[in-house]
Amino acid sequence: MENTHISTSFDKDLNKLNDNLLKLGNTALDQFDKCITNYGTQNLEEIEKVIESDKILDDLDDKVQKLGFEIIALRAPQAADLRRIIVALKIATILERIGDYSRNISNRTKLLIELNYSDLPGVNIGKMGQKTQTMFEDILESYINEDDKLAVKVRNSDVKIDKMHTEYYLEIISSMQRNKKFAPTGAHLLFIAKNIERVADYVTDIAEQIYFLVNGSVLSDHRPKADKTSLKIPE
């Protein structure tokens, strides 16, 4: 971020806010990456680390929120500066919520391990998580470079995650109907798949904030969606 103000202390404040937001973003990405990896490796020790480290994201979010409101109170920013601060605060809140989903996925994975689970044919939770992780990586790059075109691309790619979620949802429900003993495992898989889908949704929220940061306007078109899990129930 370039220094553009007469007051160098104002620039320092904005840079400090940006640095802490990026630290929050990279930490949230690392946590999500680990929870998806742990789903595959079933490493209980690593799973516990992700669960316990959620507090780190909470603290980083609190720090960003405090810095942002202090800058607003002391500097009375206007126009683009105010927009930058508001966007940073909104993105920080989103990143903290993504951390909550990483913790939830980790907790569900622990329960699945107790059930001695394995992936269903046609249900690849790891693949869904990896595609969402790529979206997450790209959106952090978009923020760093203020690349609104990449932000729009990431936003539009969410439809692929929606389609995967719908496909997996139908397969899991069908398996639960065919075999009642599969119900506990199926329930946890449904929650994990939904949590990953929600992380992808939050990434698209960040994309829209980046577009607003760069252009000072909101995207005019509706976000493409393909999640039909609320409409399709297998017979």
Q: pLDDT tens, 184-202?
A: 999 999 999 999 999 999 9
C-alpha 36/C-alpha 228 separation (Å) is 23
Does the domain at 8-215 match CATH 1.20.58.220? Answer given as: yes
End-to-end CA distance of the chain: 55
Query: CB of 192 within 8 A of CB of 109?
Result: yes
Give, for 8, the enclosing helix (H) or strand (E): helix 8-41
Look at the alpha carbons of 178, 184, 185, 187 in this order and tell me if their dihedral is positive or negative.
positive
Report pLDDT for 8.
Answer: 80
Q: How far is CA 151 from the centre of its chain?
A: 14
Residue 208 CA, chain-centre distance (Å), reads: 13
Closest CA to 231 of 183, 181, 173, 189: 173
Burial per residue of 87-112, b for 16 or more beta-carbon CB atoms within 10 angstroms, e otherwise: bbbbbbebbbbbbbbbbbbbbbbbeb
d(CA 68, CA 120): 46
Domains of the chain by residue range: 8-215
* 207 contact partners, CB below 8 Å, separation of at least 6: 139, 142, 151, 152, 154, 155
Q: Mean pLDDT, to the nearest integer, of 156-162?
A: 95
Mean pLDDT of 216-224: 80
Better-predicted residue by pLDDT, 231 or 144: 144
pLDDT recorded at residue 144: 96
Tokens of 127: 């693949």
pLDDT over 90 for what percent of the chain? 77
Inform me whether the pLDDT recorded for 47 exceeds 90.
yes
User: Rounded CA gap, 134 and 213, in Å?
Assistant: 22
**Residue 1 predicted with pLDDT over 60:** no
How much is the average pLDDT of 52-79? Answer: 93
pLDDT of residue 228: 65
- pLDDT tens digits for 71-129? 999 888 888 999 999 999 999 999 999 999 999 999 999 999 999 887 677 789 999 99
Q: Are 29 and 136 in contact (CB under 8 A)?
A: yes
